[in-house]
Amino acid sequence: MTLLKKLQWSFGLLLFFFVLPVIAGQLPFNKQASTPIKEPEDQQVVYAATNIAEQSALEQTKEETKEQTQEQAKDPFKVLLLFTHSQESYQPMVKAVSGKAAVYDEKTNIYNLQDTISKHFSMNGIQTDVLEVDVMKELKRKGKTFPASYNTVRPYLSKRLQEQSYDLVIDLHRDSAKRKATTITHNNESYARIAIVVGAEHKNYRWNTAYAESLSASMNEIVPEISRGVISKSGDNVDGRYNQDLTKEMILIELGGIDNTEEELNRTIAVIGKAIAKSFVTGKQN
């Protein structure tokens, strides 16, 4: 081999080894290995900007909802009604129904005022329960006389107070006094007057009296002299406790007298509801 051919062979061999890597990089089977792997890019989430006025309204709504929830969470002021002399009645009301003038009636009586009372109390934020027992009907069934009324209703009341708690317990009666003593006119409208009776011969006497005096004062602020005041009773020929020894929050209300009309009673019941709210409900909520 001549020197020239040797040089040509050596040059060709060097050129082959120089070009080979370039050619290998272009082959299809090696593409994946030669391509760098890209890391996934983080996607940026763009939120719509809240208008300042909308944000303010939203915050206000949240605050109002919170306040409403807190208000609903408060315990309502609860009153228990009972009617120890359940068939005491008002002559004008009985006469309108049956045509007779009676002060006791099995159907038209003070016990039947419970729906009217509950309605007016509810309007003043007061939850009302009724002790569903016709006491005078029970007296007749058991062959007992009128003076046994308080002892007859006592076990029913005691059981209820053991089962539930109340902010105020009201035993409603009708006074036997005539119209002149039980009626008052205010702003050209007549009202049935009330009196609150507290038995003075038991341990809760002072507590019951405090509740009675507070309610009486509030009623007179709404309609002057609609309340005849608080009457304490003790001694011979009276009960002396009127089951008020069962709870500190119990009073007895004489609602009008035998001559008061349904309209007069309704007006006074409305005043009682307002006075309870004024004396007790507002203070409890605060």
Q: What is the pTM assigned to this prediction?
A: 0.74
**pLDDT digits 0-9 by tens, 162-200:** 999 999 999 999 999 999 999 999 999 999 999 999 999
Return all residues near 219 (Cβ < 8 A) that are at least 6 apart.
194, 226, 227, 271, 272, 275
For residue 267, what are its two tokens? 């007006």
Q: Is 168 helix (H, G, I), strand (E, B) or coil?
A: strand
Q: What is the pLDDT of residues 82-105, one digit of tens each?
A: 999 999 999 999 999 999 989 999
Mean pLDDT of 269-283: 92
- Residue 198 near residue 251 (C-beta atoms within 8 A): yes
- Please write the tens of the pLDDT for every residue from 143-156: 999 999 999 999 99
User: Element (H or E) spanning 151, and its range?
Assistant: helix 149-163
pLDDT tens-place string over residues 4-18: 555 565 556 655 555
Per-residue pLDDT at 41 exceeds 70 = no
Beta strands (DSSP E) in the chain are: 77-82, 126-130, 168-175, 183-186, 189-192, 194-199, 227-233, 250-257
CB-based contact 171:242 (threshold 8 Å): yes
- When pLDDT is cut at 50, 70 and 90, the band that residue 282 belongs to is confident
Nearest one of 113, 110, 117, 260 to 184, comparing CA atoms:
260
Output the 3-class SS for 99-133.
CCCCCECCCCCHHHHHHHHHHHHHCCCEEEEECCC
Q: How far apart are CA 248 and CA 266, in angstroms?
A: 27
pLDDT value of residue 29: 41
Check residue 242 and give left, alpha or beta (phi > 0: left; psi -120 to 50: alpha). Answer: left
